[in-house]
Structure 1
Amino acid sequence: MPVLPIVTYNDPVLTEQAEEIEEDSPELQTLIDNMLETMYNADGVGLAAPQIGRSIKLFVMDTDSMIEDGEVPYGPMVFINPLILEKKGNKVPMEEGCLSIPEVNDKVFRPETVVIEFFDRDFNKHRLEANGWTSRVIQHEYDHLEGVLFLDYLSAFKKRMHKKELKSIEEGEKKIKYPVVPKNTVEK
């Protein structure tokens, strides 16, 4: 399975609303396998289709390496056409990063719990209530499908603190340990 290049900060595909997936296909199944391989290769715990230049409602994740006591291990998961039904609980700050914004991390406040409906890779419908890191990753990846980046939750002051790093990513100057695609070269 090939490792796909990841779209980096400030590419327009990262700010678009993703499109629904109409049906299963061999190409979709190959894309899912390639996305999982890409995520693992980059040492990520989640990857949304817009991050590989595809503006479709699909993300993959595997949070087992991050879970804490009392959290459920789910293994690799595929979310097709997900819909967050509810966010509940206190907003908790946690450090977040993003494969499309390498080596930039900051605290983001998100609700503790999320309830989400989605189709798995076999197009079976599921409803999941998740907490902890799993909830955090679901909300982060879901945001990608809505054209939202974790940076959008930061104050203007915090964004200015990251300005130099973001410019380095945008201009392709930052050394990144996994394949990336330069801005504006992604097929839509």
Structure 2
Amino acid sequence: MAIRQIVFLPDPVLRRKAHKVTNFDSDLQVLIDDMVDTLRDAPGVGLAAPQVGVSQRVVVIEYQEDEEDDDSPKKLYVIVNPEIIQTSEETEMGIEGCLSIPELVGEVERHLAITVKALNRRGQPVKYKVSGWLARIFQHEIDHLDGVMYTDRATRVWKPREGEEAPVD
């Protein structure tokens, strides 16, 4: 396992539609493990393979349900070839940041709840119904797989003031 270099805009890999994963081989397992290590080192809450220069439809998300309780466990999601199959009509504006666009944040409208079908790291089907902040993370990361950056969807983008904490994918 290794920490990989995160790529930044304007790297073209971030703007390409990532390739569907067809081989669940040892190379994929190494990529996933490296992505988890890279995500934790960054630190962030989500990372898509294009952000480490790999044009494959792979996302890792590590989310702590209770952010108030530092001891609450984090849940790791590994999703391969994800598809959003259902969205709530209700949307919400929220502030997002991105490991591939450091020093900027933006206000983005996202669905409050979504259902995602994907494959796990072994190629077995999984389905997640997520809402709130976790749904925002899933949508942000799946956008990366289609070459879409949060700044493309943002109503405004700005550099946070010193001391102002920005959420990062």
The answer (yes or no) to whether the contact 2:18–2:57 under 8 Å persists in 1 is yes
Residue aligned with 1:89, SS = coil
Equivalent in the alignment of 2:27 = 27
What SS does the aligned partner of 2:90 have?
A: strand
**Unaligned runs of at least 5 residues, structure 1:** 166-188
Structure 1 consecutive aligned stretches of length 4 or more whose deviation exceeds 2 Å: 65-69
- Name the SS of the counterpart of 2:82 in structure 1: strand
**1:117 corresponds to:** 117
CA distance in 2, matches of 1:104, 1:68: 25
Aligned to 2:9: 9
1:156-188 CA-to-partner distances (Å, cap 9, x unmatched) read: xx35x56xx9xxxxxxxxxxxxxxxxxxxxxxx
Residues in 1 aligned to 2:133 and 2:28: alpha-carbon distance in whole angstroms:
27
Which residue number corresponds to residue 64 of structure 2?
Answer: 64
Instruction: Please tell me whether residue 86 in structure 1 is matched to residue 123 in structure 2.
Output: no
1:42 corresponds in structure 2 to 42
Cα 1:65–1:128 change in 2 (3 A) is closer
Shift of 1:103: 2.1
TM-score, with normalisation over the residues of structure 1?
A: 0.78
1:86 & 1:40 partners in 2: Cα distance?
Answer: 29
CA RMSD of aligned residues (A): 2.0
The structural deviation recorded for 1:66 is 6.4
The answer to whether the 8 A contact 2:109-2:154 is kept is: no
Listed as ranges, the gaps of 5+ residues in structure 2 are 161-169
Deviations along 1:34-55, one digit per CA (max 9) or x if unpaired, are 0000000001000000001111
What is the TM-score when the length of structure 2 is the normalising length?
0.86
**Matched position secondary structure for 2:102:** strand
CA distance, structure 2, for counterparts of residue 85 and residue 62 of structure 1:
21
Whichever of the two has the greater Rg, that structure is: 1
Q: Secondary structure at the match of 2:2?
A: coil
